[in-house]
Structure 1
Amino acid sequence: MEVLMSNWSDVQSMPESYVFPPDKRPGKHIFPDCKDIPTIDLDKAEGLNRAEIIQQIIKASQEFGFFQVINHGVSENLMEDTISVFQEFFGMPAEYKASFYSNDINQSCRIYSSTLNYHKEDFHYWRDNFTHRCHPLEDHIQSWPEKPPRYREVIGIYCVEVRKFLLRILDLIREGLGLESGYFEDELSKIQLLSVNHHIPCPDPSLTLGMPEHCDPNLISMLHQCAVPGLQVLKDGQWLGVEPQPDAFIVIPGLQLKVISNDLFTSPKHRVITHTKEARTTIGTFLIPSSDVSIEPARALFDTGNPPVYRAFTYKEFFSTFTSKGCDAANALGCFKKKLE
C-alpha cells in the first residue's frame, strides 16, 4: 500500500495497520465540546483594556493551557488562501510529493505519513504531515515546493504574519509575568517550524487517531484549524472537542513556557480524531528555542519562599530526553526538576 494516504482514493475499509489496540482507540462515544474556551480579542491589547487582556492570557495559560485569539492581525483572505494552497499541495501527483518524502528530522522540508517512525510502528496514525522551516524566510524558501504555483508567495506571507502574531502574544505574556523587555526574542524563539496535517476521510474513526496524544515540547504553538472538527484537549481527565472558529487561532503554551513560568503555566495534552466524510487540513506553527540556549525558570518568578522548580538545561538536551522518554512530557520534565534540599 502507498505510504502517503493523500495518494489513496475511495477507502472503504480500515487497513489493518491503522487499527489501534482496543485500549488506545477513541471509541464510538460522542466527545463533548470544550465550553468557555478563553477567547482573547487582540485588538483590545493596544488600548485601555491592555492590562485586562494580559491577565486573560495569563489566566488562560494557567487554568486551560490554551486559548483562542480573534482579531489577531492575519487577514481572513490570507488564512483561506493558505488552507487552499495546502489542500492543493496534498492533491498533487504522488510522484511530485515523493520528492519531499523523508523521515529525517534534520531535513528542512519534508513530507511523511503517521510519524517519523512509520516503518517501525506497530500501528499507524491516520495522517500525512508536511513540515518545513520558515525563519528567516530567505534561508529556507528555496527548499519549499514550487507547486502549486502560489505556494512560495502565499505561504511566505503567511509565515511572516504568523510569526509577528506569536511574538506579539509572547510579549504580552512577558509583560504579564513581569519579565524584562525582549525576554522571548532572539534565541528563545529563533526557529519557526510550520507543520501541516492532512487527514483523508476515515471509514471508522472509532478505531484510530489522526495524531497521537501529546504535549508540545517547544516554546509556543499556534493552530489554524479548517472547518472540519477533530482537535481534542484533555482537561480534568476528559477529552473535549475544540470546535473550529473560522477567524480564530488556537494558541498553546509549550513545555518551555511551563518551565520558564516556574510551573505557573500548564501545557495540555491534545490529539486529533478523524472524520468519516470530509478531509481535514490544519496548520501548526511552532516557535522553538535554538539548540544551545539555556532554559530555566525566569528569575523574576522565584524567591526564597518560592524556589525554582527546574534546573537550567539546553533545548537540545531537553528534546533528546523528551524523545527518549517516548515524548512523555511528565517523564521528560521530571528529569530536569531540582531536587529538594
Structure 2
Amino acid sequence: MVAEALYISMEVAGEQIRVQSLSQNDKPHVPPQYIQPPQYRHNADTVGGGGGGDKSIPAIDLGATRADLHAELDRACKDWGAFHVTNHGVPIQLLNEMRRVGVLFFEECPMAEKLRYSCDSNSFASEGYGSRMLVSSNDAVLDWRDYFDHHTLPLSRRNPDRWPHFPPNYREVVAEYGDRMKVLAQGLLSLISESLGLPSSRIKEAVGEFYQNITVSYYPPCPQPELTLGLQAHSDMGAITLLIQDDVGGLQVLKDGEWVNVHPLSDAIVVILADQTEIITNGKYRSAEHRAITNVNKARFSVATFHDPVKTTIISPAAELISNSSPPKYCQVTYGDYVLSWYTKGPEGKRNIDRLLL
C-alpha cells in the first residue's frame, strides 16, 4: 500500500514513475494503475511460456528467389501481417550492439542520469526517456514498460545530443542502426508491392518520405504478470515496423482470435505491417495486432523501428487494387489526423483502423 500511495501522490504531482524503480522495490503487488481489466489479461499459462500451441509467425529468407519471395510474402502478409526475415543485409554485429548499448543504458546507467533525458509527459510521441504513453484519459491503464524514443529520420529531426551518451558509443550505434533499418524497410515495401502485382515503388510512393522513430523498450520483472501487460494490444499506426528482441520472449501476435508467441530468433528481424499499409493494399494485406506480456523472473528488451508517413500525407487504397469486384474498403485519411485519433483514443486493438472501414 505504501508503494501504491507513493505512486499516486507522485502522479498527481505530475512526476512520472519509472517501472524499473517499481520493480526494484520488491513489493508483492503492482500498483492499481497497471492492472488490466480481466478481458485484456493474458492467460496465466502463457506467462513466460507457450501461447498459440505450435503456431508461429513465418520466417522468410530474403535470399530466396524472387518468385519464392513473392509467394511467401503474399501468404505472410495475408495470414499474419507479421513475419521474421533472415538474410536481411543488416550486420548481425550491429543487431547485437544495438541490444548491448540499450540494455546497458537501462540496467547500468544511474537513474539520475537517465532522468536527464526524460520526455515531455504533456506531449504525445515526444523524444526521450519515459514510461507512460500520453492519451486523453488520465485513468488509462499503464503498460509495465520503460522506453527511450529516438527521432532518427529525416535527418532534420535527428539530434543525437538528445540521446544518451552512456555507453559512450550509444549515439553512433543508434544512428547507424536507423540508417540500416531505413534501407531494409524500403526494400521490404518494394517486395510487398511486387507480391501484389504492383510496381515495386507503388507502396513506397504512397507512404512518401519516412518519418522514422526508434523505440528501445525495457520490460522489468513483474510481481504479478498475470494482471499486467508490458504493451497493450494494438496495431501500429504507420507503414512498417522492424523489431528485434532479446532471448526472453514476450511479444505476441493475434491470429484467428488466439495470441501466438513470437519466439525470438537472434539473427532475424521481426517485420510488422502497420495500418497505413493495410489501407494502401485495400485490406488485401493486414496490419498485425500485437502485444507484449510480462514475466516474474527476467527483464525483457526490444527495439522497434517505426517507419511512418509525413503527417500531411493523404493515404487511400491504391487505385490499381480497386475494381467493381473489389471496391474500396477504407476511406482516405490524412495521416496526421489518424495519429491524433490513435493517441486520443488509445491503442484499442485494431479499432482505430476499423473506424475507417466503408
Normalised by the size of structure 2, how large is the TM-score? 0.86
Aligned-pair CA distance for 1:334: 4.0
The verdict on how the C-alpha distance between 1:105 and 1:220 changes in structure 2, with shifts beyond 3 A counting, is farther
Match of 1:11 in 2: 26
Match of 2:306 in 1: 286
Aligned-pair CA distance for 1:116: 2.6
Match of 1:311 in 2: 331
Coordinate RMSD, CA, aligned: 2.3
Q: The residue matched to 2:222 in structure 1 has which SS?
A: coil
Match of 1:93 in 2: 110
Match of 2:167 in 1: 148
Match of 2:199 in 1: 180
The verdict on how the C-alpha distance between 1:202 and 1:327 changes in structure 2, with shifts beyond 3 A counting, is closer
The verdict on how the C-alpha distance between 1:90 and 1:239 changes in structure 2, with shifts beyond 3 A counting, is same
Match of 2:58 in 1: 38
Say whether the 8 Å CA contact 1:262–1:301 is kept in structure 2. yes
Q: Deviation per CA, 1:289-323: give whole Å up to 9, x if none.
A: 10111111111111222221222221012222333
The verdict on how the C-alpha distance between 1:137 and 1:144 changes in structure 2, with shifts beyond 3 A counting, is farther
The verdict on how the C-alpha distance between 1:28 and 1:235 changes in structure 2, with shifts beyond 3 A counting, is same
Q: Is residue 2:290 matched to residue 1:270? A: yes
The match for 1:68 among 84, 91, 97 is 84
Question: Which segment drifts farther, 13-22 or 147-156?
Answer: 13-22
The verdict on how the C-alpha distance between 1:240 and 1:107 changes in structure 2, with shifts beyond 3 A counting, is closer
The match for 1:111 among 129, 136, 141 is 129
Match of 2:71 in 1: 55
The match for 1:132 among 137, 150, 158 is 150
Aligned-pair CA distance for 1:208: 1.0
Provide the C-alpha distance between the structure 2 equivalents of 1:269 and 1:230, rounded to a whole number of angstroms: 14
The verdict on how the C-alpha distance between 1:119 and 1:198 changes in structure 2, with shifts beyond 3 A counting, is farther
Match of 2:271 in 1: 251
Which structure 2 residue ranges, 5 or more long, are not aligned? Answer: 1-6, 8-15
Aligned-pair CA distance for 1:26: 1.9
1:52 maps to amino acid: D
Say whether the 8 Å CA contact 1:192–1:288 is kept in structure 2. yes
Provide the C-alpha distance between the structure 2 equivalents of 1:110 and 1:212, rounded to a whole number of angstroms: 20
Normalised by the size of structure 1, how large is the TM-score? 0.90
The match for 2:348 among 328, 334, 339 is 328
Say whether the 8 Å CA contact 2:254–2:290 is kept in structure 1. yes
Say whether the 8 Å CA contact 1:189–1:219 is kept in structure 2. no
Between the two proteins, the alignment pairs up a number of residues equal to 334
2:67 maps to amino acid: A
1:309 maps to amino acid: K
1:94 maps to amino acid: M
Say whether the 8 Å CA contact 1:322–1:329 is kept in structure 2. no
Match of 1:242 in 2: 262
Question: Which segment drifts farther, 87-96 or 242-251?
Answer: 87-96
